[in-house]
């Protein structure tokens, strides 16, 4: 490997296999970062469910879960496989980059630094998960030269957020070391001016993402809507789909559902949509699909939730709204927005290469801090 190269263990979400068809933003971000790191000469292993397709090596941790009710067993199996591997190969990696949302709780059992990217809103994590997770920070010691940390405060665990709005909810974590905005490979989403007269909602089909609100907005606007996404094999996701979405998918309806679209189909939908709708009811921490739409020159109309205003430039690459009525009004104005400006925003702020460079710098900070803390 070239000088200054790293060997990184990436930890994926335990329930489902990771591949290009993954609907989750954390899974997509992990695959993008891993691919970029390999292109830069680093070595990677991804710990993920059987059947995952990654660029580097795969540490298979077991069969994907069939239902959400199997989460605890599957999470325990996933983490146990990783910890067992680390015990048998203690010197293989330089650091662990956890994107699973939960493996970081086992940092004390790991023989190397752990960087945990927090992909979810603060309210989605248990409060007790962040107890006793404070490492000795070089910056804090420099600011307080006379301060001495107790031995039980030492830790190899560090956190980062994916947006400024998310980071504002984690200001109490002394082990928070930065924000790295998500990014995409814009070249995979060519810009086009050839827009068609349909609205698009694209994502994971569940209540918190609220595709039913996209249906309501499209109906009030008098425009056809394409709903495209994946229904995870969880009973409450399926129940939501059958209760809120399926009744609108009748013959003659102007709502069409595409289940788990391929990468090429997803690209086509994003390229030609009149606008992408973001209707989430939770404080989202990022939006890869908004970045993908803008890369295609497609404007985004989003609720004012979490990081959406950081991703979408209001009045330039889309509109930020507070209610369905405002969403309907905004849809009448999207034709005035420039596809080129939408793409330029992605190229300036949300490229995969920028994200990878930011993470490389974060990895170096983690390694330096961990080395000085252990001294």
Distances (CA, A) of 256 to 65, 240, 259, 281: 28, 17, 10, 22
pTM: predicted TM-score of the whole model, two decimal places? 0.91
Q: Which domains does the chain have, with CATH numbers?
A: 7-183+351-374 (3.40.50.2000), 186-349 (3.40.50.2000)
State the Cα–Cα distance between residues 285 and 294, nearest whole angstrom: 18
Q: Are 114 and 83 in contact (CB under 8 A)?
A: no
Q: What DSSP designation does 8 have?
A: E
Give one word for 70, left, alpha or beta, with left for phi > 0 and alpha for psi -120 to 50.
Answer: alpha
**Residue 24 burial by Cβ neighbours in a 10 Å radius (0-12, 13-18, 19+):** buried
For the chain, the straight-line distance linking the first and the last C-alpha, in angstroms and rounded, comes to 27
Q: What DSSP designation does 171 have?
A: T
DSSP string, 301-330: EEES-TTHHHHS-BTTTEEEESSHHHHHHH
pLDDT tens digits in sequence order for the chain, 375 residues long? 566 899 999 999 999 899 988 878 899 999 999 999 999 999 999 999 999 999 999 999 999 987 767 888 999 999 999 999 999 998 999 999 999 999 999 999 999 999 999 999 999 999 999 876 544 443 343 344 443 333 333 479 999 999 999 999 999 998 999 999 999 999 999 999 999 999 999 999 999 999 999 999 999 999 999 999 989 878 889 999 999 999 999 988 999 999 999 999 999 999 999 999 999 999 999 999 999 999 999 999 999 999 999 999 999 999 999 999 999 999 999 999 999 999 999 999 999 999 999 999 999 999 999 888 877
Alpha-helical segments (H) within the chain: 25-39, 71-88, 138-143, 164-167, 211-221, 235-240, 263-272, 288-295, 308-311, 324-331, 339-349, 352-374
Q: Are 47 and 93 in contact (CB under 8 A)?
A: no
Task: Determine the 3-state secondary structure of 118 from DSSP.
Answer: strand
């Amino acid at each position: 490997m070239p000088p200054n190269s790293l060997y990184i263990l990436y930890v994926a979400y335990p329930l489902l296999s990771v591949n290009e068809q993954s609907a989750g933003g954390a899974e997509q971000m992990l695959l993008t970062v891993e691919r970029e790191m390999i292109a830069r000469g680093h070595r990677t292993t991804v710990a993920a469910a059987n059947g995952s397709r990654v660029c580097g090596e795969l540490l298979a941790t077991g069969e994907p879960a069939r239902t959400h009710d199997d989460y605890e067993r599957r999470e325990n199996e996933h983490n146990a496989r990783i910890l067992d591997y680390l015990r048998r190969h203690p010197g293989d990696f330089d650091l662990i980059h956890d994107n699973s949302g939960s493996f970081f709780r086992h940092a004390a059992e790991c023989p190397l630094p752990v960087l945990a990217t927090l992909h979810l809103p603060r309210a989605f994590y248990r409060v007790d998960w962040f107890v006793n997770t404070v490492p000795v920070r070089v910056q804090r010691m420099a600011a307080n030269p006379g301060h001495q940390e107790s031995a039980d405060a030492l830790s190899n665990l560090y956190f980062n957020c994916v947006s400024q709005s998310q980071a504002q909810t984690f200001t109490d974590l002394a082990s928070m070391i930065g924000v790295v905005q998500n990014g995409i490979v814009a070249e995979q989403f060519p810009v086009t001016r050839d827009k068609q007269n349909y609205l698009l909602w694209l994502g994971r089909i569940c209540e918190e993402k609220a595709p039913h609100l996209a249906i309501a907005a499209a109906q009030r606007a008098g425009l056809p809507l394409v709903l495209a996404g994946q229904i995870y094999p969880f009973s409450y996701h399926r129940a939501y789909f059958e209760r809120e979405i399926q009744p609108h998918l009748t013959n003659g309806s102007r709502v069409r559902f595409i289940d788990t679209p391929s990468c090429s189909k997803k690209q086509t939908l994003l390229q030609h949509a009149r606008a992408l709708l973001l209707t989430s009811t939770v404080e989202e921490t990022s939006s890869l699909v908004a970045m993908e739409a803008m890369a295609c020159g497609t404007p985004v109309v989003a609720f004012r939730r979490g990081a959406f205003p950081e991703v979408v430039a209001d009045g330039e690459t889309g509109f930020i709204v507070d209610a369905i009525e405002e969403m309907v009004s905004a849809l009448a104005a999207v034709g005035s927005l420039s596809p080129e400006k939408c793409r330029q925003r992605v190229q300036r702020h949300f490229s995969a290469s920028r994200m990878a460079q930011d993470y490389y710098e974060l990895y170096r900070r983690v390694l330096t801090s961990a080395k000085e803390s252990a001294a």
